[in-house]
């Protein structure tokens, strides 16, 4: 059989393309982050100030109506829950709850809906259900014991093969320390007095990954430094470039998803909204708030009517 010699491949074009693609992705990520920061730091605060000044009165009116509706609806839900718990009609439940409210705490009778369980209150349980449950639990526990034993056996069998040697641990620790020191040379606040926002973020990432022993993530930070500083020696492998490219692509995907969501909000790019557009927007918000107020008002009326009928029922009981 004829022997074939290995043919060396020039990786320079591949490296150049990997670097070019990575730089392009980093720029896109930076641009997306800039848009998001501008929204939170400029557009959103300006919108909030405008909204407060232009729609304060109607907004407070709606908030007050919402508070009243929430208070009454919470009361009604409690009454229905009490009625279901004691299997009585809601009007009678309303009566009992009001009687309890008008009674001093020390004079109130025990009620399992409101009070702590008394010893022995719930002890009347079906004996057959208890015995069947006991039987099920014993069989379950037997199965669990076998499963635990099997898991222990599997764990002990794979323990030696999965555990890294002391030499591998030491080598990883030395590499981690070397990479972190290189990162610190560029990103440590004491050595870099005028840090950019991106450098601050990457320094915090480096600190976290150093503590978490995440060597791959530390390598990504170092590759990012070399890309940004144009120090791309052969030490940066194509694999490291592709790893960082993948990370930044995921970051870009997340940022673009966030931007799509933020763009659906009325305060996106609010600084660029003209006076005429703001007047139209104000009218739209006003109509929407007034519609909300009318809806809440009628929903509250329904609850008040229901409570009034229960009050009348309570009065009729009290007369008797």
List per-residue pLDDT tens for the chain, 320 residues long. 555 555 555 567 877 788 788 888 888 988 998 899 999 999 999 999 999 999 999 999 999 999 999 999 999 999 999 999 999 999 999 999 999 989 998 888 888 888 866 555 545 544 555 555 555 555 555 555 656 655 665 555 454 445 567 777 777 888 888 888 888 888 888 877 777 777 888 888 888 888 888 888 888 887 777 777 665 555 567 777 788 788 889 989 999 999 999 999 989 999 998 999 999 999 999 999 999 999 999 999 999 999 999 999 888 877 65
Query: Whose CA is closest to 248, among 15, 16, 24?
Result: 24
CB burial class (10 A; 0-12, 13-18, 19+) of residue 222? buried
**CA 55 to each of CA 42, 227, 281: distance values in angstroms, whole numbers, following the listed order:** 20, 49, 11
179 and 206 Cβ atoms separated by less than 8 Å: no
């Amino acid at each position: 059989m004829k022997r074939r010699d290995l043919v060396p491949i020039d990786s320079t074009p591949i490296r150049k393309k990997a670097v070019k693609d990575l730089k392009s992705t980093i720029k896109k990520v930076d641009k997306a982050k800039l848009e998001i920061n501008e929204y939170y730091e400029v557009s959103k605060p300006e919108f909030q100030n405008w909204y407060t000044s232009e729609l304060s009165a109607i907004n407070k009116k709606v908030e007050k109506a919402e508070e009243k509706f929430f208070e009454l609806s919470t009361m009604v839900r409690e009454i229905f829950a009490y009625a279901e718990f004691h299997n009585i009609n809601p009007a009678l439940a309303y009566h009992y709850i009001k009687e309890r409210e008008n009674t001093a705490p020390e004079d109130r009778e025990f009620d399992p809906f409101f009070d702590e369980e008394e010893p022995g209150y719930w002890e009347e349980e079906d004996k057959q259900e208890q015995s069947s449950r006991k039987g099920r639990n014993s069989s379950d526990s037997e199965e669990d014991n076998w499963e635990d034993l099997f898991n222990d056996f599997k764990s002990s069998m794979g323990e030696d093969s999965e555990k890294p040697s002391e030499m591998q641990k030491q080598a990883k620790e030395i590499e981690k320390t070397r990479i972190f020191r290189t990162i610190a040379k560029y990103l440590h606040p004491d050595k870099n007095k005028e840090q950019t926002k991106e450098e601050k973020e990457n320094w915090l990432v480096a600190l976290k990954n150093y503590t978490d022993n995440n060597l791959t993530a530390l390598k990504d930070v170092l590759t990012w430094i070399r890309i940004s500083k144009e120090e791309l020696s052969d030490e940066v492998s194509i694999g490291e470039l592709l790893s960082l490219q993948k990370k930044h692509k995921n970051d870009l995907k997340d940022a673009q998803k966030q931007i799509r969501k933020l763009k659906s909000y009325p305060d996106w790019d609010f600084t660029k909204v003209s006076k005429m557009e703001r007047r139209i927007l104000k009218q739209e918000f006003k109509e929407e708030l007034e519609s909300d107020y009318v809806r809440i008002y009628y929903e509250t009326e329904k609850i008040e009517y229901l409570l009034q009928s229960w009050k009348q029922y309570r009065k009729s009981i009290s007369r008797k």
